[in-house]
Amino acid sequence: MSTARPEREHGRALLDDLLPPLLARGDVDVAPMFGSHGARVRGKMFAFVSTAGDLVVKVTEQRATELEDSDTGARMEMRGRVMREWIAVPQTHLDAWPVILAEACTYVESRLPTDRPGTRTEPA
């Protein structure tokens, strides 16, 4: 008997449907996170599905505030601490998921150093 929550499973399926364009980039992959799986860019997590089935993404603090103010999402809370840049977007706002997912990927990638192994910063 499966102990997986139907909400989370449905959210995972929705996320899986949105990932192919990002996975095609070559620097995005899927990895385990908090009993689910999430999307990473160059090894850094930018999105996952919560137990409730919401899309949880890392965006700028300003963007998180905009999403919260428009009732599109709510800041993620972990162990009683509100996360400044992590926002949960419920399935009721599924139409916003593709854009927010792409924004999260772009944001997290922009914060990564350009001299990580496998990337070239100057001529050999």
* 44 inside domain: yes
Decide if 120 is inside a domain.
no
Q: Does a structural domain hold residue 23? A: yes
| Tally of domains within the chain | 1
CATH of the domain at 77: 3.90.1150
**Is residue 115 one of the residues assigned to a domain?**
no
Amino acid at 112: L
Q: What is the mean pLDDT of the chain?
A: 90
Q: Which helix (H) or strand (E) segment is 104 a member of?
A: helix 97-110
Residue 103 pLDDT: 98
Residue ranges in the chain whose pLDDT is less than 70: 1-3, 34, 115-124
CB 56 within 8 A of CB 11: no
124 lies in a domain?
A: no
Residue 53 near residue 11, CB atoms below 8 Å:
yes
pLDDT computed for residue 115 by the predictor: 66
Structural domain that includes position 48: 6-110
